[in-house]
Amino acid sequence: MELPKDPFMLLSVVNTKLRDCYADLDALCEDMGIDRAALERQLAAAGFEYMPEINQFR
């Protein structure tokens, strides 16, 4: 699956997958072949940060 380029669509897709399918961000990135640092940078540029205690970007 190709992830959306739009940061708000990306946020929605990633948070939905984290909620429904993955225990944490590492599991999502490993399973989907995503560079975690790049994903976090992309979402941080839009003002979002991964919060492991709730397994979501906010």
Over residues 25-34, the mean pLDDT reads: 98
pLDDT given at position 46: 97
pLDDT given at position 58: 98
pLDDT given at position 1: 79
Output the six-digit token pair for 49.
């940060």
**In terms of C-beta density within 10 A (0-12 exposed, 13-18 middle, 19 or more buried), how is residue 14 classed?**
buried
pLDDT given at position 34: 96
The whole model's pTM is what? 0.94
Over residues 28-46, the mean pLDDT reads: 98
Chain centre to alpha carbon of residue 38: 10
Sign of the four-CA dihedral 39, 41, 46, 51:
positive
Task: Report how far residue 51's alpha carbon sits from residue 21's, in angstroms, rounded to the nearest whole number.
Answer: 16
pLDDT at 55 over 90: yes
Over residues 5-25, the mean pLDDT reads: 98
DSSP annotation of 13: H
